[in-house]
């Protein structure tokens, strides 16, 4: 493997953090501690981590309604994320946004977005800014298979194509847009095939293989940074849980779910790290335990944090002068 041990173990740890964060989120919801909705990322950990591992800390991402994984992979603080889910003043959005709107400008995260395809034009604009300013930054735009059927997907990828913007459009095809199977609602077999319409490379990767994701994104990021323009990457993956908290998953079989669980991205990566002698079982176990502790600390921080004050309801509607 070309990557350093340190980087590979960082990737492993991030994937485990995402998994544990999501399982804790589900647990807290079932204890009535989470007020609104959330969309769990379990099963897709390799896409967020592989993609973000290929970015510099100063590069930008845009995220989706299923954004916890992207946010953790880009380097956000688990405590402030958990506090946001619990609607606390110490959360990333001071309790005003909740699960679907977490942003962390300090790590280049321009925001999760409650609107499907919300991030696509925003990422395009951030990349346009980088081109105009020649700041050398790349923007990676996460979106789902459902977003690929919106009008702004066409508009924005065309704009990025004509202007050769430093952007990577990264489609997480998790097979379902809510209940809608991708093959029933998408006229082409692969979303990546659409890249031809925008004069950019279209790349398909196994979204459950973190190193394959990393490799494809790294190549696209390097191209973008050199001024050679955008890339459309489609990572085929699967969400293990329902679309959101209330989804009984009547549109798919338990057998199908079991087949995908056999391709668990964390298990696969752990096996690879062990079989190639990068890490020992003890080392991985130690990481697992560290993460359990971090999640517990994040939970404690969130629980003990204050709620926003009702008298501050109208704060942050407008930016005041000098802010």
Partner 1 sequence: MAEKLYIEALAEAIKEEFERDPNVFMMGEDIGIYGGAFGVTKGMYPKYKDKLIETPISEASIVGAGVGAALVGMRPIVEIMFSDFMMDAMEWIVNQAAKLRYMTGGQLKVPLVIRSPMGSGTGAAAQHSQSLPAMFAHIPGLKVVMPATPYDVKGLFKAAVRDDNPVIFFEHKLLYWTKGEVPEGDYIVPIGKADVKREGKDITIIAGSITVIRSLEAAEKLKGEGIDVEVIDIRSLSPLDTETIVNSVIKTGKVLIVEDDNKSYGWGAEVLSRIVESDAFDYLDYPIQRLGGKDVPIPYNPKLEGAAVPQVEDIIETVKAIFGKE
- The set of catalytic residues is 239, 243, 251
3-class secondary-structure state, position 143: strand
Taking the complex as a whole, the smallest distance from the CB of residue 54 to partner 1 amounts, in Å, to: 20
Q: With respect to partner 1, which residue has the nearer C-beta, 90 or 237?
A: 90
Taking the complex as a whole, the smallest distance from the CB of residue 131 to partner 1 amounts, in Å, to: 10
Could you tell me if 48 and 78 are in contact, meaning their C-beta atoms sit under 8 angstroms apart?
Answer: no
Cα 222 to chain centroid distance, Å, stands at 20
Q: With respect to partner 1, which residue has the nearer C-beta, 96 or 272?
A: 96
Taking the complex as a whole, the smallest distance from the CB of residue 116 to partner 1 amounts, in Å, to: 10
Phi-psi map region of 59: left, alpha, beta (phi>0 left; psi -120 to 50 alpha):
beta
Taking the complex as a whole, the smallest distance from the CB of residue 124 to partner 1 amounts, in Å, to: 5
Q: Which run of H or of E encompasses 207?
A: none
Q: How far apart are CA 260 and CA 237, in angstroms?
A: 8
Burial class (CB in 10 A: 0-12, 13-18, 19+), 180: middle
Footprint of partner 1 on this chain (CB under 8 A)? 60, 62, 91-97, 101-105, 110-111, 113-115, 118, 120-130, 132-133, 139, 151-152, 155-156, 158-159, 162, 315-321, 323
Taking the complex as a whole, the smallest distance from the CB of residue 242 to partner 1 amounts, in Å, to: 24
Q: With respect to partner 1, which residue has the nearer C-beta, 258 or 320?
A: 320
Q: How far apart are CA 139 and CA 141, in angstroms?
A: 6
DSSP H helix total and E strand total for the chain: 11, 7
Q: How far apart are CA 156 and CA 158, in angstroms?
A: 5
Q: How far apart are CA 246 and CA 308, in angstroms?
A: 27
Q: With respect to partner 1, which residue has the nearer C-beta, 149 or 175?
A: 149
Q: With respect to partner 1, which residue has the nearer C-beta, 69 or 95?
A: 95
């Amino acid at each position: 493997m070309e990557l350093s041990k340190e980087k590979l173990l960082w990737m492993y740890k991030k994937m485990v953090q995402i998994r544990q964060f999501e399982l804790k989120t589900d647990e807290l919801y079932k204890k009535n501690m989470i007020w609104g909705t959330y969309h769990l990322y379990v099963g897709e950990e390799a896409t967020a981590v592989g993609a973000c591992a290929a970015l510099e800390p100063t590069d930008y991402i845009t995220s989706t309604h299923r954004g916890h994984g992207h946010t953790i992979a880009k380097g956000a603080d688990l405590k402030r994320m958990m506090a946001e889910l619990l609607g606390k003043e110490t959360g990333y959005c001071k309790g005003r946004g909740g699960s679907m709107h977490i942003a962390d400008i300090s790590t280049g995260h321009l925001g999760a977005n409650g609107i499907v395809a919300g991030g696509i034009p925003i990422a395009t604009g951030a990349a346009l800014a980088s081109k105009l300013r020649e700041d050398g930054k790349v923007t990676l735009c996460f979106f789902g298979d459902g977003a690929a059927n919106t009008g702004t997907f066409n508009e924005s990828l065309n704009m990025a194509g004509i202007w050769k913007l430093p952007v990577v459009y990264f489609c997480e095809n998790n097979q379902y847009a809510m209940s809608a199977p991708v093959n029933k609602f998408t006229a082409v077999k692969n979303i990546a095939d659409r890249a031809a319409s925008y004069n950019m490379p279209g790349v398909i990767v196994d979204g459950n293989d973190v190193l394959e994701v990393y490799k494809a994104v790294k190549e696209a990021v390097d191209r973008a940074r050199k001024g050679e323009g955008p890339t459309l990457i489609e990572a085929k993956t699967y969400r293990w849980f329902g679309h959101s908290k209330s989804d009984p998953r009547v549109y798919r079989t338990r057998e199908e779910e079991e087949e995908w669980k056999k391709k668990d991205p964390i298990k696969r990566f752990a096996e690879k790290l062990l079989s190639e002698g990068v890490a020992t079982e003890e080392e991985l176990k130690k990481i697992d335990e560290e993460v359990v502790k971090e999640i517990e600390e994040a939970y404690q921080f969130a629980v003990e944090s204050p709620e926003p004050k009702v008298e501050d309801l109208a704060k942050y509607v407008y930016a005041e002068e000098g802010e």
